[in-house]
Amino acid sequence: MEVFFRYLASIDNSDHRDRTEEILTWVANKFPNLEAQMKWNTPMYSDHGTFIIGFSTAKHHLSVSPEEVCIAHFADNIAQAGYKSTKGLFRIPWNELVNYELLERMIEFNILDKADYSTFWRK
């Protein structure tokens, strides 16, 4: 989590900072084999050099970026959770609960789906 220290410290709203730290810590504890990284001013996790999931903060939400393939695969689950999404991310409003079950399934999907990848991003 040390890799995210500066990023977290830059979040002015303490509730948003605490929520972001909670989610990043949850990922690190649930998936200890993933590597925590900061790239493009974005906290993210990778597995054997390939991107698994990234997070970024905004005024009204936390954006979760698991790549397009994963968003498409879980589109119905994202909608059922009440989250809005685009092709590459979905948004968790600050005032709503985090669906950790959905996050876990998405991360597991990306780990398995990208097991044989040798590139950072899907092609």
pLDDT tens digit sequence for 32-79: 999 999 999 999 999 999 999 999 999 999 999 999 999 999 999 999
- The Cβ-side half-sphere exposure at 46, using a 13 Å CA radius, reads 15
Cα dihedral 13→15→19→24 (10° resolution)? 40
* Per-residue tokens: 80: 């059922």
Distance of alpha carbon 6 from its chain centroid, rounded?
A: 18
Give the predicted TM-score (pTM) of the model.
0.94
Topology at the third CATH level for domain 2-113:
Aspartate Aminotransferase, domain 1 (3.90.1150)
83-110 average pLDDT score: 96
106-120 average pLDDT score: 95
Phi, psi of 62 (to 5 degrees): -105, 125
Domain ranges within the chain, ordered by starting residue: 2-113
Question: Residue 1: pLDDT band by 50, 70, 90 thresholds?
Answer: confident
Question: Residue 102: pLDDT band by 50, 70, 90 thresholds?
Answer: very high
